[in-house]
Structure 1
Amino acid sequence: MNTRPKLNYPVPVTILTGFLGAGKTTLLNRILTEHHGRRIAVIENEFGETGIDNELLVQADEKIVTMNNGCICCTVRGDLVRILGELSDRRENGDIHFERVIIETTGLADPAPVAQTFFIEQDIAENYKLDAIVTVVDAVHAHQQLQEHHEAQEQVGFADRILLSKTDLQEAEVVADLETRLRAMNPRAPIKRVHFGETELFDILDIDGFNLDDILKIEPDFLQDVSHEHEDDISSFVFRTDRELDAARILAFLDIMVRDFGNDLLRYKGILNIAGCDKKVIYQGVHMLMTESFGNPWQDGEAKASNLVFIGRNLPKQDMLEALESCQVAA
């Protein structure tokens, strides 16, 4: 008996965007781990030299991972068109099954080139339909990000839904002022406050929110095939080591780094192997706001390595790498 599920086309797609550190990965974690009964393919990408988010999101090395709740996680290593084509082919062949797609863009991305894909690529347009662009906005840093970065403005302007995160860390009048600013920038998009990604999926999936006519009013050249470039003064670098790190020294380094370069640190995150700790230690931060948490225990036979990625403006890369080298425990 043929048990292959009936395939419906086109597959609805949600683009999840938001500036660095806004909380997109937290929301994706909820989608990938909650038993919501929906089969979702998640395509995740990050600006930088290493896939730190891939480990924060799921503990696996494969490019495509099937989760116990029916979700699929796919880490983008190449062209989006190719990845979508591969997913569509495997869905047709019965290798994997999903009913909708969520694409997380890098925090430095203008969402326009991603959205363009579903209109200017014929094969993609036949198999997928852009359902909505959902933008996560960081209530703590949004005013500064909107002032300094065109990408942050574009993310808000293109949004069909706006999720306002970290409101509990900001004064009420500042949040209210931010909401007023966001409504002025994009009166089309409803705004919802969220805490650690806790939002109902029906608020962001299958909402039929993307309206091409509205987007053409914002950006008349939207359907032209144009490329996107990052700001020249923004760059990323990675620190990797197989040696254990001293807890006191790494904490002192992070405190000094935040104190001296916090304004220019757009995003920093990493999974660390701390001497004397049997769990992975996860550091994440945006500007001056830094959090520390414990991840999964190191598994028997697993290579214990530390990876820290920094994304920022005009950072003293060599000085920071040398300081991190000094945090290693002597061999």
Structure 2
Amino acid sequence: DHGLRFAIIENEFGDVGVDEKLISTAAAGKSEDGPGVTRINEEVIEVLNGCICCTVRGDLVEALKRLHDKVKLFDAVLIETTGMADPAPVAQTFFVDDYIQAKYRLDGIITVVDAAHVEQHLDEEKPEGAENESIEQIAFADRIILNKCDLVGKSPATKAASEEQCRNVAEIPNGEREEAAGASDVKEALSKLEGRIRSINPHAPIIQARFSQVDPKQLLNLSAFELQRVLEMDPEFLSMDPNAHVHDDTVSSVSWSFPGLELNMNKLKQWISSLMQDLGTELFRYKGVL
């Protein structure tokens, strides 16, 4: 238990907020004091259906200004961007807005890398003028969490089975997680993958993880963001127009909401399995509250 209180600014790619509901549900589940139970101390601000690095940049600034009025309640602000965000304009916010620069310090940029699938995204050909977000996010990171390390080098079928276990990790007793993750030797594959990551960013420490289990102490109070290093990498960092970057129009989101309908879990599982089989490599993320 890190004992810290966070404000969370959550940017979702779609127009239906899911993560805020997941966090609120977790908070509700821990709202009663008891043995081993800690109250969750977060305030969540959602920024929906947009790119936090440009079209909702003003919303980000306003959210940070509003949070400053409650600074006595929070030890830190966590900004979670979408997987499609360019981190550079978000980081730029802390240096080009005088009010934000005076009231906040950018502690560090943390990038979570999906070890099982990242290479297909690094190799992806983007439309002319569009940046490869995976490369940008790794390049700007001060810490890199290499998650799903147990899936590196496995077949697609094995990955799918293991990822299903990952989604249900909360239901797996601690003693069984090793078995669920498998015992294959992936050291060589991980070493090769880390080498590729270091060719993009040789400075950021890489933290290997499974089931997204990381000690918070490795991610907090880093004082890791170095403006000078960023300027050496991108001399135009402080002067660039946050609206100038080109979006990848091949990526879109679809959202459904069915209030009042009874859920048939078996049919939902069948539909998701069929969707993964037909379009698995084209799906970046799917999530919801049932």
**TM-score, length of structure 2 as denominator length:** 0.73
How many pairs are equivalent? 230
The question of 1:252 aligning with 2:270 is answered yes
Instruction: Give 2:144's aligned residue.
Output: 162
Instruction: Give 2:23's aligned residue.
Output: 57
Q: How does 1:93-104 map to 2 (within 5 A)?
A: 97-104=73-80
- Give, in angstroms, the shift of residue 39 of structure 1: 2.3
Letter in 1 for 2:39: N
- Give, in angstroms, the shift of residue 113 of structure 1: 1.2
Write the distance in 2 (CA, Å) between the matches of 1:229 and 1:56: 31
- Give, in angstroms, the shift of residue 101 of structure 1: 1.5
- List 4+ stretches of structure 1 deviating above 6 A: none
Write the distance in 2 (CA, Å) between the matches of 1:215 and 1:196: 31
Write the distance in 1 (CA, Å) between the matches of 2:3 and 2:265: 41
Write the distance in 1 (CA, Å) between the matches of 2:271 and 2:212: 30
- Contact 1:76-1:83 at 8 Å conserved across structures: no
The question of 1:221 aligning with 2:260 is answered no
Which protein is richer in strand relative to its size? 1
Which runs of no fewer than 5 residues in structure 2 stay unpaired? 32-37, 49-55, 127-131, 154-185
Q: Does the residue aligned with 1:240 lie in a helix, a strand or coil? A: coil
Instruction: Give 1:318's aligned residue.
Output: none
- Give, in angstroms, the shift of residue 244 of structure 1: 1.9
Write the distance in 1 (CA, Å) between the matches of 2:75 and 2:231: 28
- Contact 1:36-1:69 at 8 Å conserved across structures: no
- Give, in angstroms, the shift of residue 177 of structure 1: 1.3
**TM-score, length of structure 1 as denominator length:** 0.65
Q: Does the residue aligned with 1:236 lie in a helix, a strand or coil? A: coil
The question of 1:268 aligning with 2:286 is answered yes
Instruction: Give 2:171's aligned residue.
Output: none
- Give, in angstroms, the shift of residue 230 of structure 1: 2.9
Instruction: Give 2:255's aligned residue.
Output: 238
Instruction: Give 1:89's aligned residue.
Output: 69
Query: More displaced, 68-77 or 214-223?
Result: 68-77
- Give, in angstroms, the shift of residue 123 of structure 1: 0.4
Write the distance in 1 (CA, Å) between the matches of 2:60 and 2:254: 23
Write the distance in 2 (CA, Å) between the matches of 1:252 and 1:42: 34
Letter in 1 for 2:17: G
Write the distance in 1 (CA, Å) between the matches of 2:220 and 2:26: 26
Query: More displaced, 42-51 or 123-132?
Result: 42-51
Query: More displaced, 183-192 or 145-154?
Result: 145-154
Instruction: Give 2:113's aligned residue.
Output: 137
Which runs of no fewer than 5 residues in structure 1 stay unpaired? 1-34, 273-331
- Contact 2:110-2:143 at 8 Å conserved across structures: yes
- Contact 2:20-2:44 at 8 Å conserved across structures: no
The question of 1:182 aligning with 2:148 is answered no
Letter in 2 for 1:49: D
Q: Does the residue aligned with 2:107 lie in a helix, a strand or coil? A: strand
Change (3 A) 1:248 1:129: same
- Give, in angstroms, the shift of residue 245 of structure 1: 3.2
Letter in 1 for 2:152: Q
Write the distance in 2 (CA, Å) between the matches of 1:182 and 1:127: 33
Deviations 1:200-231 (A, max 9, x none): 22211111111111112222221123224531
Deviations 1:85-136 (A, max 9, x none): 0000233xxxx51122211111110111110100000000000011111111
Q: How does 1:272-283 map to 2 (within 5 A)?
A: 272=290
Write the distance in 2 (CA, Å) between the matches of 1:73 and 1:248: 32
Change (3 A) 1:263 1:70: closer
Which protein is richer in helix relative to its size? 2
Write the distance in 1 (CA, Å) between the matches of 2:24 and 2:211: 17
